[in-house]
Structure 1
């Protein structure tokens, strides 16, 4: 039985979820969704990325989105920064945290950012310096942490090496990114154990995709390992464009429902979260895989007269 009693949920939908959408979503709609997440009590939100507009047109409005967010309620607003230039822009917008990412596998990192892993890690030193001068903490994310679509299994030692570099650069935390949905309970346990030994000063978080339907099963393993930080996306949006067959992140509403049913605190109003998930379908213009937002909670009862009675 898990010893975790409270979990910090990060909704990455505004960045990781919406960046995969074909429709260019206006900044005002993104801001409204982020402010609703804050109102629902989501404690940490990955709001956008200060990436090149040419690389990700969906996130070209990063500064505008940051300017419109309600910062009065204390939610941590994190943003992805790919390089020093992005870190400068993020610092100018007053982000609470910067997030950098590197793939565990050389081939995926090459596809994703057109750099070797070592080139990415060296580039983070500049980000760390800019963030340090601005007194902004940095988190590192390891993409394809549990498997690469081009190379197969990722050795736990590989994760340990990257995490150790994160720790040496003064990062405050790291996240295992299951970019390809290849995580399984054994690979999660092995990865967590390796990083704990190599980089004990880093807080750890888990970011699962539901590509093969076991995203929440992997969350259960993480809880059993004592991990109390998880990333998810409203409605189950998302999916890496550089991972063949990848589908969306685990759904925030489904994750919070699971945690609440286990008696684990999140500080989140699930009803408000479910309403956001439903409305995101309208924003993106197509159905989303979230389940609780459609089915309701376990003890949501129905009027018997609303259901037909069997005949014969």
Structure 2
């Protein structure tokens, strides 16, 4: 559903004169002025980490490796495969570094992303050359930020800054997941314009260039998705959403 909505939205935002799937620029017509920029691409990100991390029974490392290796052969742009967080917080992900050792990246163009929630985890992930992206869960909802990372939103922004600095020194890219971007289950007030404020801060203050709006509890609607992306994509053409 979410993929279909984004496809329709990007088609609506695509510059005129560029057909779907066409790469490069169209041939300019006399008097038509400069050619429009190529249309934005749509990346498919697979996230086995999110599906696996909540399972109570520990999945053997070898089984995780076989599953993710199968995903690496599917052609996804990026695979969110694991996380470097405390083993008490997410026991299922305690073997992420070991899982990585058994992944075959020789015949795939897919890139790897790992979630971090603090500076220690970011440092550990930055030492591993196989990982391209570090993902940080930044919630627009104070309640969820406290429950998810035991930090306030203010403290989380500080961690984002330190993680962004680490990524810059390590040749990696930071992906900020804006959790609860479409609503929350706590009865807390939700204002879609808060998303604009968070994106602006991540852009101008921290230089983050990849931001994912996360429908954490599955409460988005076609209208809300359209409003948010129609507003954000033209306003921040240098940011990948």
The TM tier, using the shorter chain, reads 0.7 to 0.9
- 1:78 is aligned to 113
Does residue 1:63 correspond to 2:97, yes or no?
yes
- Among 198, 220, 239, the residue aligned to 1:162: 198
- 1:148-206 Cα distance to aligned partner (Å, 9 max, x none): 111356312211111122223122211010001110112112222443366442111xx
- 2:25 is aligned to none
Q: Structure with the greater relative contact order (CA < 8 A, sep ≥ 6): 1 or 2?
A: 1
- Among 166, 170, 173, the residue aligned to 1:130: 166
- 1:195 is aligned to 232
**3-state DSSP class of the match of 1:182?**
coil
Q: 1 CA distance for matches of 2:185 and 2:110?
A: 35
Deviation for aligned residue 1:128: 0.7
- 2:86 is aligned to 52
**3-state DSSP class of the match of 2:44?**
strand
Contact 1:163 1:198 in 2 (8 A): no
Q: 2 CA distance for matches of 1:79 and 1:35?
A: 15
Q: Structure 2 unaligned runs (5+)?
A: 1-6, 12-19, 22-40
- Among 101, 105, 126, the residue aligned to 2:141: 105
Contact 2:75 2:109 in 1 (8 A): no
Query: Relative to 1, partners in 2 of residues 1:187 and 1:118: Cα closer, same or farther, differing over 3 Å?
Result: same
Q: 2 CA distance for matches of 1:113 and 1:164?
A: 22
Does residue 1:139 correspond to 2:139, yes or no?
no
Aligned residue runs from structure 1 range 284-299, under 5 A: none
**3-state DSSP class of the match of 1:46?**
strand
Report the aligned-residue RMSD: 1.8
- 2:123 is aligned to 88
Q: 2 CA distance for matches of 1:58 and 1:67?
A: 17
TM-score, structure 1 length as denominator?
0.61
Q: 1 CA distance for matches of 2:76 and 2:66?
A: 14
Query: Relative to 1, partners in 2 of residues 1:197 and 1:108: Cα closer, same or farther, differing over 3 Å?
Result: farther
**3-state DSSP class of the match of 1:78?**
strand
TM-score, structure 2 length as denominator?
0.79
Does residue 1:173 correspond to 2:210, yes or no?
yes
Does residue 1:43 correspond to 2:43, yes or no?
no
Q: Structure 1 unaligned runs (5+)?
A: 205-312
Does residue 1:149 correspond to 2:177, yes or no?
no
